[in-house]
Structure 1
């Protein structure tokens, strides 16, 4: 237990100035978040998780996730239902987030190895153009992204190592209409990136995690890389110079993450996950920037 506490304390005390896009809830990351990729012996699993993140301009994001899983020996189907509350210097919003449905196939590669393939979709069930006083709020406040997305992924477990790849793609433009001209007299609104007509394109994800297993508890630490496939220039308002500038940006995010899972009983388990960015996307109009994110949850077998 002392080793577990050391890992958690190290993550929580990591430098707070590290700012970038965390793995947030765009879709593919949460879909691949379950690192238990060995063939399942529990058919029905229900989960309740509470996510917290800090986004653009210190906006607080609370995301409550209700999940349901059906697992046969090699096949599983999962549904994730999010409820989102955000609060920042322009106001607050709350509502149903974007629902995700995914299916997976797990195959054994031997006593200490397994592979899992996942395919899913994210539906635009969440509001993506919530307003305050008739003016659209930035994307970081919105419960949804306003797009239908394809989600693909695969995980490989080799003994105590897990390697993951993921892909998320949408052709849609967001339904968000946040424009600076609607907030011309409020400098704090100009610090957010405009998002009206934004198209995210494709995200590629790669991850590696190392597990240390105890009797009823396992802890892990790892790295996750997310690359956005889009134009590397962005039109951004410089508040100090009071003008718009074309700015080149880095499109790659690298996150340091760690967590633990504890089997409370044969029918219940808790998990704690924390993520901090090491390398940032410079400017993200999609509202997915996170300077810190953490999640705590419970899963029950039925």
Structure 2
């Protein structure tokens, strides 16, 4: 227990010392709704609230709700709907963000080793051009990036270790953002007019620590996210430009702490921080602080 406490404390200190949280377009959390359950408990509902601070003075409140159905020992299906409220010098704008539909196929376990695969889609509720009083807003205020994304992944579990590989590919782009920094009166946010985003690839490793009474569990994990190309926008002259420095590697540290109220209910707290970031992230996903609180019930 002492070891768990020291690891947790060190990680929390690093979060506030770095002063930068992390966020992503969905790839980091696509498998979070799937959890081992007793055979008679096939349904899982999760309700969560994420609090964060982004670029400049933008503050976020981003709740979501998800439902997962375990059809049999091999196949499960998970859905999630997100919402986001952003408040800053431009004002407050709130709207539904994205819907996720993810399927998971699990192969039989052999010698404490088990493989599973993930396949799914992300659907946007907006075209990423929400406005306040008729004025265009940067992506930092948008609740969605306005892309239909394909999500593919695989997971290898060995004892208390989990290793994940995944990709998120924007297939259809309906982003109609019309924000120009030249007309905004501030340089806090880059121009994101008709923004186009490239794909992401992820590798994550997770280690699970449980207390003897199984009431608490801690999951420190490290994520390597590579943005596969430079994002782009259309400038005031109608010419498409790349964001130089938007391609590259982000390394995130994350700690998930869970308290099991009983066999069916639990409360989860998650914090995260980046150790390596790209030179520029015009998608508005940068966070200076992130705290996630989540309630889960199985039935």
With normalisation by structure 1, the TM-score equals: 0.86
Match of 1:174 in 2: 175
The gaps in structure 1 that reach 5 residues or longer are: 237-243
Alpha carbons 1:277, 1:292 under 8 Å: kept? no
Cα distance in 1, alignment partners of residues 225 and 145 from structure 2: 18
Where in structure 2 are the equivalents of 1:92-111 lying within 5 Å?
92-111=92-111
Where in structure 2 are the equivalents of 1:133-172 lying within 5 Å?
133-171=133-171, 172=173
Aligned residues: 289
Cα distance in 2, alignment partners of residues 283 and 128 from structure 1: 19
Q: Does 1:195 align with 2:192?
A: yes
Secondary structure of the structure 2 residue equivalent to 1:73:
coil
Distance 1:246 1:220, change over 3 A: closer
Cα distance in 2, alignment partners of residues 245 and 115 from structure 1: 38
Cα distance in 2, alignment partners of residues 97 and 246 from structure 1: 24
Q: Cα deviations across residues 210-263 of structure 1 (Å, max 9, x unaligned)?
A: 111223221111210111111389999xxxxxxx99854562100011122222
Q: Does 1:265 align with 2:265?
A: no
Q: Cα deviations across residues 30-50 of structure 1 (Å, max 9, x unaligned)?
A: 2133574x5763211111011
Alpha carbons 1:22, 1:276 under 8 Å: kept? yes
Cα distance in 2, alignment partners of residues 155 and 64 from structure 1: 26
The gaps in structure 2 that reach 5 residues or longer are: 236-240
With normalisation by structure 2, the TM-score equals: 0.87
Cα distance in 2, alignment partners of residues 110 and 281 from structure 1: 39
Q: Cα deviations across residues 100-148 of structure 1 (Å, max 9, x unaligned)?
A: 1111111233252222211111111146111123121110111111111
Where in structure 2 are the equivalents of 1:255-294 lying within 5 Å?
255-294=252-291
Cα distance in 1, alignment partners of residues 242 and 218 from structure 2: 45
Match of 1:12 in 2: 12
Secondary structure of the structure 2 residue equivalent to 1:98:
strand
Secondary structure of the structure 2 residue equivalent to 1:56:
coil
Cα distance in 2, alignment partners of residues 245 and 264 from structure 1: 49
Structure 1 residue ranges, 4+ long, deviating more than 6 angstroms after superposition: 232-236
Alpha carbons 1:39, 1:74 under 8 Å: kept? no
